[in-house]
Amino acid sequence: MTRLRYQLTDAVPVRGAATTAAALIATLGAAGACWVIAVDQMRGMDMGVATRLGSFDFFVSSWILMVGAMMLPGAVPAVLRRTHASRSALAAPVFAASYIAIWAVVGIAVYGLYQPHGTIAAGVVVIAAGVYELTPAKRHFRLKCLEYSCSGLIYGFNCVGSSIGLMAMLVVLGIMSVPWMAIMAVVMVAQKLLPARAFIDVPLALAIVGLGIAILAAPASVPGLVPSMGHIPMM
């Protein structure tokens, strides 16, 4: 929490406080609006591993709302630092928009690669995501998320590197699942705001691996993973 307080203190200078406050309110307000619209738009779409994405336009709009809801709260310190550095009222929306644009590109890739899948695929991806949490690449990108970024594009690239495993989990567990979306959002926001701590990060990674093993061993034990109606192939 001390590190987070320093991030926000450094990002909010005495001069330009009004601009900084406006950037803070706008960023959190945009995240809140994205949550409201995304939840409404995704209602009834979640079918776990059998979820279908719908049309390209529908999915991309849903994805942008989803990442806006999940990612913008964690980007607040970066947005405020950029606003202070540029001393421009346009800095915050430009930074946030370019940041979300990086995630929009990821969404397009997801749309091209995704297909309804089975529990084995879900379990394997979740295990891989847990392992990724302990890799040097994860630590590198997470550290970059805590540093100053001169543009939303650079920050977005580092954010993707840090959160790609968790987002892959969301995709395979239920890409239109609001509960999984909320869980992943809490984890990703915490990782963007707080420094790495082994006593937290290692148990989290092991818990993710354990979830993947549970999916492989007893998929019906994971709520919402397998639809109650219809046959879902193992792969």
pLDDT digits (tens, 9 = 90+) for 1-39: 555 554 555 544 445 678 888 889 999 999 999 999 999
Give the pLDDT band (50/70/90) at residue 233: very low
Q: What is the pLDDT of residue 89?
A: 74
CB 162 within 8 A of CB 192: yes
Q: What is the pLDDT of residues 37-57, one digit of tens each?
A: 999 999 889 999 999 999 999
Most distant CA pair in the chain, distance: 61
The pair of three-digit structure tokens given for residue 55, joined into one six-digit string: 């049309």
**For residue 16, is it left (φ>0), alpha (ψ between -120 and 50) or beta?**
left
Statement: residue 74 has pLDDT above 60: yes
How many other CB atoms are found less than 10 A from the CB of residue 69? 23
What DSSP element (H or E) covers 172?
helix 152-174
Q: What is the pLDDT of residues 124-143, one digit of tens each?
A: 999 999 999 999 999 999 99
Q: What is the pLDDT of residue 16?
A: 64
Q: What is the pLDDT of residue 10?
A: 53
Write down the domain spans for the chain: 2-221
The pair of three-digit structure tokens given for residue 17, joined into one six-digit string: 């406080």
Q: What is the residue-averaged pLDDT of the chain? A: 89
Residues ≥6 apart with Cβ < 8 Å to 203: none
Q: Which of 235, 220, 116 is nearest to 171 (CA)?
A: 116
Share of the chain above pLDDT 70, in %: 90
Statement: residue 165 has pLDDT above 80: yes
Q: What is the pLDDT of residue 3?
A: 54
Q: What is the pLDDT of residue 230?
A: 46
The whole model's pTM is what?
Answer: 0.87
Coil, helix or strand at residue 72: coil
Q: What is the pLDDT of residue 1?
A: 54
- On the 0-12 / 13-18 / 19+ scale of CB atoms within 10 A, 160 is middle
Kindly state the average pLDDT of the residues 205-221.
96
CB 159 within 8 A of CB 101: no
Q: What is the pLDDT of residues 97-106, one digit of tens each?
A: 999 999 999 9
Kindly state the average pLDDT of the residues 70-88.
89
What DSSP state is assigned to residue 219? G
Q: What is the pLDDT of residues 172-187, one digit of tens each?
A: 999 999 999 999 999 9
Angle 51-57-121 (CA atoms, 0-180°, nearest 5)?
25
